[in-house]
Amino acid sequence: MASTYAQLHERLAAAFGALVPGADPALRVSDHADYQANGVMGLAKQLGRNPREVATEVLGHLDIDDLAEVQVAGPGFLNLRLRATFVAAQLGQLAEDERLGVARDVPRRVVIDYSAPNVAKEMHVGHLRSTVIGDALARLHRFVGHEVIARNHVGDWGTPFGMLIEHLVDLGEDRALASLSIGDLDGFYREARAAFDRSEEFRERSRLRVVALQGGDEETRRLWRILVEQSMLYFSQVYDLLGVTLTREDVVGESAYNELLGDVVADLSAAGLLVESDGALCAFPAGFVNREGEPLPLIVQKRDEGYGYAATDLAALRQRVGELGAAELLYVVGAPQAQHFDMVFAVARAAGWLDEDVRCEHVAFGSILGADRKMLRTRAGSSVKLVGLLQEATARADAALRERDAQLSDEQRVELSLVIARGAIKWADLSTERQRDYVFDLERMLSFEGDTGPYLQYAHARQRSILRRAEDSWSSQDVAFALVEPAERDLALGLLGLPEAVASAIGASQPHRLCTYLFDLAQRFTAFYEACPVLGAPAPTRDERLALCEISACTLALGLSLLGIEAPERM
């Protein structure tokens, strides 16, 4: 089905186009009507004519009577009030449509780089936003028909592995495995670090081990794989707990690009982009300067001939476009990396790996702050572990459920509390404009009131509860939507808005736009619920209202699922 917005836009665009081909009607949801078209004023300016006059002329070309009533207002706004028949028809189609009006896009291959934890380290809040935002974007793109290639750019390479492997050797494989498998990765890392700081001999072994690892020594590789595999098991557990779609197949760590790094250097060198500077091979993309105002390098190959993360990122980008054929590249990485990605993209363009046809975007996000408005840390100053955060949230959700006495078995409650906890954490993360920092406040995000995950989940559960009570006495077939009450109409218009919310979230890589929509919808439902009795209403009205409940519940559930949040039937 064509969305309400799309149909209105099509008619308006035709009328505007009759005056100036391609003119944008600038159609928006309106406070003064249902929708408004703002394009007249711009057009009048362009034509050097009076806006009201232009509005009249546009109206002359506008064939929209079957959809909406149009009025010119103010300096030249076109206010549209939708016909009841049109709203009813659209709603009828929604009721039959599993996609709730969201059309499939022309399929694109989209590579989304997100999460990126480090081997032999526990996941902490620093990984939360990348994981949650990336997962939401992946779900959104998949839903509209794109081929998403998720890439978990795990930190599985580099100098720390010398010390980690030597520590593994010192512990003995059995003990090391035992230590790693209980998930105490940080403990393992700390011990390795301590040995490194304490012993000159250990440092020397570590250094040699790095050389062996990079040189492809079989035994060293085997030991390295133990670390990697144990970490992978741990990551999978965390993703399960979080309800994130990432799998083992999505992991393409830094080490995977080793064999490609030589080609990267060769390519850049052939393009004349590499300059030796202080012994390192550097690219100097135009427009970047350092403290002293000198050109800022992107170090491709270090003085010691090793490669840094710039080389890996370049190799990954080159491969994603060249071999994977990506039409779109999204990097869900924190805002502090902005300059790094600007430089990588600039070099990739200069090298001819990236052209205008490929959309390439650093989907940057702000930091998570504590109550003191500084980067969230534990009292001891260490990073807050993701698993601990989830446990704390789950415990609070469990306590809230006990208090609400929703007649749940212990088993149901335990399961639900995790669903609520991750919904709360994800919603808090996704519902603000992602570039901003946000303050992490478990109490607020777990509240059943306000702009929270639990509120949305609860709204859905209540809708399902109403529908359950009517189960045997109602069918969603052939419902006539009269929409007599204003609250019914407001809700209906809200329900018709999902396609634009989804499109907007995808277009701007801003999941929060979908959140804003869903919260608004839930509030419209509350107003409707307050004003319009459902189960007690006389027959035709009852069916209509039940249908509104049904579509509302489906919309909330679908919208939440696109954000990676479950919508339980009861809570």
Restricted to residues 21-80, the positions that interact with RNA (CB under 7 A) are 26, 28-33, 36, 38, 41-42, 45, 73-75, 77, 79
Look at residues 233, 192, 194 and name the one whose alpha carbon lies nearest to residue 209: 192
Q: Tokens standing for 530?
A: 């307050």
Taking the complex as a whole, the smallest distance from the CB of residue 172 to RNA amounts, in Å, to 27
User: 38 or 236: whose CB is closer to RNA?
Assistant: 38
User: 32 or 225: whose CB is closer to RNA?
Assistant: 32
Taking the complex as a whole, the smallest distance from the CB of residue 178 to RNA amounts, in Å, to 28
Taking the complex as a whole, the smallest distance from the CB of residue 174 to RNA amounts, in Å, to 29
User: 150 or 343: whose CB is closer to RNA?
Assistant: 343
Taking the complex as a whole, the smallest distance from the CB of residue 565 to RNA amounts, in Å, to 16
Distance CA 15, CA 61 (A): 5
Distance CA 52, CA 54 (A): 5
User: 162 or 179: whose CB is closer to RNA?
Assistant: 162
User: 42 or 453: whose CB is closer to RNA?
Assistant: 42
510 in contact with RNA (CB under 7 A): yes
Question: Within 311-370, which residues bind RNA (CB under 7 A)?
Answer: 312, 335-340, 366-367
Which residue of 187, 486, 533, 540 would you call a contact of RNA, by CB under 7 A? 533
Taking the complex as a whole, the smallest distance from the CB of residue 147 to RNA amounts, in Å, to 27
User: 148 or 298: whose CB is closer to RNA?
Assistant: 298
Taking the complex as a whole, the smallest distance from the CB of residue 173 to RNA amounts, in Å, to 26
Distance CA 51, CA 32 (A): 19
- DSSP, res 106: P
Which residue of 525, 548, 559, 566 would you call a contact of RNA, by CB under 7 A? 525
3 in contact with RNA (CB under 7 A): no
Question: Within 454-483, which residues bind RNA (CB under 7 A)?
Answer: 455, 458-459, 461-466, 469
530 in contact with RNA (CB under 7 A): yes
372 in contact with RNA (CB under 7 A): no
Look at residues 349, 336, 341 and name the one whose alpha carbon lies nearest to residue 298: 341
Q: Determine the interface stretch with RNA among 55-63, 124-132, 236-244, 522-530 (rule: CB under 7 A).
A: 522-530
Question: Within 240-299, which residues bind RNA (CB under 7 A)?
Answer: 254, 277-280, 282, 289-291, 293-294, 296-297, 299
Phi and psi angles of residue 82, each rounded to the nearest 5 degrees, phi first:
-70, 140
Taking the complex as a whole, the smallest distance from the CB of residue 431 to RNA amounts, in Å, to 7
Q: What's the residue count for the chain?
A: 571
Query: What three-state secondary structure class fits 225?
Result: helix
A 10 A CB-CB count for 197 gives 10
Sheet of 298-301, strand order: 274-277, 280-283, 298-301
The one-letter code for the residue type at 506 is: I
User: 179 or 431: whose CB is closer to RNA?
Assistant: 431
231 in contact with RNA (CB under 7 A): no
Distance CA 167, CA 161 (A): 10
Distance CA 552, CA 561 (A): 14
Distances (CA, A) of 89 to 3, 98, 362: 11, 16, 41
Which residue of 17, 81, 83, 309 would you call a contact of RNA, by CB under 7 A? 309
Taking the complex as a whole, the smallest distance from the CB of residue 427 to RNA amounts, in Å, to 11
94 in contact with RNA (CB under 7 A): no
Exposure string (b/e) for 415-433, b if CB count within 10 Å is 16 or more? ebbbbbbbbbbbbbbbbbe
437 in contact with RNA (CB under 7 A): yes
Q: Which residue has the tokens 């107003």?
A: 527
Distance CA 476, CA 545 (A): 10
Strands 35-37 and 27-29: antiparallel
20 in contact with RNA (CB under 7 A): no
Distance CA 153, CA 199 (A): 32
Q: Tokens standing for 181?
A: 């498998």
Taking the complex as a whole, the smallest distance from the CB of residue 325 to RNA amounts, in Å, to 25
Site string for RNA, 147-166 (x = CB under 7 A): --------x-xxxx------
Q: Tokens standing for 278?
A: 């202080």
Taking the complex as a whole, the smallest distance from the CB of residue 493 to RNA amounts, in Å, to 13
Question: Within 172-191, which residues bind RNA (CB under 7 A)?
Answer: none
Question: Within 108-147, which residues bind RNA (CB under 7 A)?
Answer: 118
User: 247 or 435: whose CB is closer to RNA?
Assistant: 435
Which residue of 17, 243, 447, 485 would you call a contact of RNA, by CB under 7 A? 447
Taking the complex as a whole, the smallest distance from the CB of residue 74 to RNA amounts, in Å, to 4
Distances (CA, A) of 74 to 70, 96, 332, 358: 13, 39, 43, 42
Dmax over CA atoms of the chain, in Å, equals: 87
Q: Residues touching RNA: how many (CB under 7 A)?
A: 102
Distance CA 184, CA 195 (A): 17
